[in-house]
Amino acid sequence: MTTKDKAVYIGSTPKNMTREANELARKQFASRNKRLKENILRAKGKAEQVTYS
């Protein structure tokens, strides 16, 4: 799809564009969530290695 194929909408957002925006946001959220989970697991592993003697 080229830029010529895209119509300009004034005053409303078409459903397909909203869906595309939501899918992109969902993918970004999922990748951020995965990174946070990995960081938490890594921090837990480091905390277990620390000994208090």
Query: How many C-beta atoms surround the C-beta of residue 30 within 10 A?
Result: 10
Tokens of residue 16, six digits: 């397909």
Query: What is the DSSP secondary structure assignment for residue 7, as one 8-state letter?
Result: P
For the segment 29-51, what is each residue's pLDDT rounded down to a tens digit?
A: 999 999 999 999 998 888 777 66
Please report, rounded to a whole number, the percentage of residues in the chain having pLDDT higher than 70: 68
CA angle 9, 30, 34 (to 5 degrees): 160
Does position 26 have pLDDT exceeding 90, yes or no?
yes
Does position 3 have pLDDT exceeding 80, yes or no?
no
- How high is the pLDDT of residue 2? 56
pTM: 0.54
